[in-house]
A and B are shown apart, each in its own frame.
Chain A
Amino acid sequence: MSQQMLADKIGVTRQTVFAIEKDKYSPSLEVAFKISNVFEIPLEEVFTYD
């Protein structure tokens, strides 16, 4: 899935998806849950706390 496709599905910009991937931005819970819903995997598998 491209960054743009994911961005469209969760309602953010492509730059924000890029920033999340590069660990330059911690998304809100709402966006985090939307991402886990898109990939249909639990939240803790998408995000980990360092």
Chain B
Amino acid sequence: MGLSNKEKSLIISLIVTLLIFGWYFFGVFSNVTATSSEQLGFNDVIRVIFLIAILEGIIAWFFQKKGEADLVDERDKLIDTKSYRNSYWTLCIGVWFILMQLLFEASGPWSNAYHTLVFTSPIYIAHLLLLFFVLSEVIHFSTQLYHYRRGI
């Protein structure tokens, strides 16, 4: 059996997310030593999020128009639950990682030396948080695809 509309939609969403945020994070993390005014900032984040939202909307509209009634059955719900669980754990790991980094910065024995590192700047922390959000979304799409293809 070929790919269903749901699988095609997931593959395209995954590719779009990887391409756009891959390009974005490449720009961010290859430029970590730049001054704050040179770094990608709030406006760039908003632009990327708008772009993703518009593209996801177009993808959803296209596959809805293409037909195949959007019936959601027990298998879809089970796959969705499993993928959200994996996505949740990815996000948890990310948040804990950032939390530990901030606590370490605030009270660790090397906090003075740590303050001089660029990795502790608020914009870097925000980008790191966004990275884990995107990673959790990628895990969500990938887990769904895996279970649709390989079974559950």
A8-33, CB under 8 A of B: which get 1 and which 0?
Answer: 00011101101100111101101100
The total of chain A residues at the interface (CB under 8 A) is 15
A13 to B128, CA, bound (A): 39
Whether A25 lies near B73 (C-beta < 8 A) is no
Residue ranges of A at the interface with B (Cβ–Cβ < 8 Å): 11-13, 15-16, 18-19, 22-25, 27-28, 30-31
Q: Closest residue to B3 on the A side, CB-wise? A: A15
Q: Can you list 23 residue pairs at the A/B interface with Cβ under 8 Å?
A: A11-B73, A12-B71, A12-B73, A12-B74, A12-B75, A13-B4, A13-B71, A13-B75, A13-B76, A15-B1, A15-B6, A16-B74, A16-B75, A18-B1, A19-B152, A23-B151, A24-B150, A24-B151, A24-B152, A25-B75, A25-B152, A27-B74, A30-B74
Residue ranges of B at the interface with A (Cβ–Cβ < 8 Å): 1, 4, 6, 71, 73-76, 148, 150-152
Residues of chain A contacted by B74 (CB below 8 angstroms): 12, 16, 27-28, 30-31
Closest 8 CB pairs of A and B: A24-B151, A12-B73, A16-B75, A15-B4, A18-B1, A13-B71, A13-B73, A16-B73
**Least Cβ–Cβ distance between B59 and chain A, in angstroms:** 19
Interface contacts beyond A12-B73, A15-B75: sample of 5 additional A-B pairs, CB < 8 Å, sorted by A: A12-B74, A12-B75, A13-B73, A24-B150, A30-B74
Residues of chain A contacted by B71 (CB below 8 angstroms): 11-13
Residues of chain B contacted by A31 (CB below 8 angstroms): 74
Residues of chain B contacted by A19 (CB below 8 angstroms): 75, 151-152
